[in-house]
Amino acid sequence: MASYFANDSMGYDGSDQARLKALGTELFVHLPRLLMLLRSLSLSEFSGRQLLADALRLHNSLISLHDQHAEQRLLQQIEVQSMSSLRPDSPPQSHLHFASVQDYEALAYYWQGRLCLLRVGQRLYDIASSCRVQISGEKRPSRSFKSRAPSHQNEISRLAKNLLMCSKYTETLRLRKQIRLSAHAAAIVWGVINEDALSCVFESEVEKSSLLAMLLGRANIALGAHPDLTTEDMNLAADMFAGGEPKGRFVELFVSQ
């Protein structure tokens, strides 16, 4: 699959923006199958090992769809703005301001696709570690089978923080696809925060609660929820995007729009 992006006919104009948008789009195209395989694992008693092996192969193929250099080059064109916190004892809050909505979409697709993939990968490798499933002729589980590998955990934290820094910019977006994208970001970052993957950046539980309240508010606005979504709705949404069953009001609103 990675070779798809190595040839000259992949259909993007060669810019970093277009490449990242293409990578993110490709991830979103294949993530539904990966999520389906993961959900099927909980329903299968006899073919679970084969399902897990198939899921791991797909995950390992998708994980190669990244371009750190293109990401860094595009980030150099993004302005980081600081805003005073509402709390006088808190440091200024940083936000990303994009030169164009196309830059935002390229990075958002890429970051959200990667973050979803890595969160699903955590669950897959947790299952693989417990089952000691071996693929590709391995005689014993390799280090890559360990859940929450440090390199991936660092990337998960970085991606979630980047998406949090987009929150202010997303308030200016008006197109339906952009608003849905911001709702999706709110749900997956919600999951990362509740898994304590970002605990190192919180000054206190109050700050964590404030971030969760902001994400809940963004989801309510984006999905036009009436009555408002609850924390349980967000928990279910975050779980769904990491391989859990699709249920809850967030899911109903997200699918219907």
What does the alpha-carbon distance between residue 45 and residue 48 come to, in Å, rounded to a whole number? Answer: 6
Evaluate whether residue 183 is within a structural domain.
Answer: yes
Name which of 103, 108, 229 is nearest 180 in CA terms. 108
Interval 44-69 mean pLDDT: 87
In a domain, 48, yes or no: yes
Q: Residue 195's pLDDT band (boundaries 50, 70, 90)? A: confident
Question: Is 86 a domain residue?
Answer: no
Q: How far is CA 74 from CA 5, 6, 18, 110, 208, in A?
A: 18, 20, 10, 12, 29
| Per-residue pLDDT at 201 | 61
| Predicted confidence (pLDDT) per residue in 22-53, tens digit | 999 999 999 999 999 999 987 775 567 889 89
Is the pLDDT at 57 greater than 90, yes or no? yes
In the prediction, which pLDDT does 19 show? 97
**In the predicted structure, residue 238 carries a pLDDT above the cut 80:** yes
Give the pLDDT band of residue 146 (cuts 50, 70, 90).
Answer: very low
Considering only CA atoms, which of 140, 116, 134, 93 is closest in space to residue 34?
A: 116
Q: Which residues fall within 8 angstroms of residue 240, CB to CB, at 6 or more apart? A: 187, 246, 247, 248, 251
What is residue 86's predicted lDDT score, i.e. its pLDDT? 54
Position with higher pLDDT, 65 vs 204: 65
Number of domains within the chain: 1
Q: 81 forms bridges with which residues in the sheet?
A: 95
DSSP 125: H
Highest mean pLDDT among 92-96, 204-208, 245-249: 245-249
At residue 12, the pLDDT reads 57
Question: Quick one: pLDDT at residue 54?
Answer: 93
Q: Residue 72: which domain range?
A: 2-81+93-256
**Tokens 């924390």 appear where?**
231
Q: Rounded to two decimals, what is the model's pTM?
A: 0.85
The pLDDT assigned to 249 comes to 94
Predicted local distance difference test score (pLDDT) of residue 129 = 78
The reported pLDDT for the residue numbered 21 is: 97
pLDDT at 145 over 50: no
In a domain, 144, yes or no: yes
Residue 85: band (very low, low, confident or very high) from pLDDT cuts 50, 70, 90? low
Per-residue DSSP letters for 154-181?
A: HHHHHHHHHHHTTHHHHTT--SHHHHHH
- Confidence check: pLDDT of 88 > 90: no
CA distances in angstroms from 67 to 57, 81, 235, 239, listed in the order given: 20, 25, 30, 27
pLDDT for position 84: 62
> Is 38 domain-assigned?
yes
Please state the separation of Cα 68 from the chain's center in Å.
Answer: 16
Please give the Cα distance from 252 to 240 (Å, whole number): 12
- For the chain, the average pLDDT equals 84
- Say which residue, 93 or 216, is predicted with more confidence: 216
* Range of lowest pLDDT (16-25, 26-35, 89-98): 89-98
Neighbours of 237 (CB within 10 A): 29
- What pLDDT shows up at residue 47? 62
Identify whether 36 is part of a domain.
Answer: yes
Q: Is the pLDDT at 163 greater than 90, yes or no? A: yes
Percent of the chain exceeding pLDDT 90 equals: 60
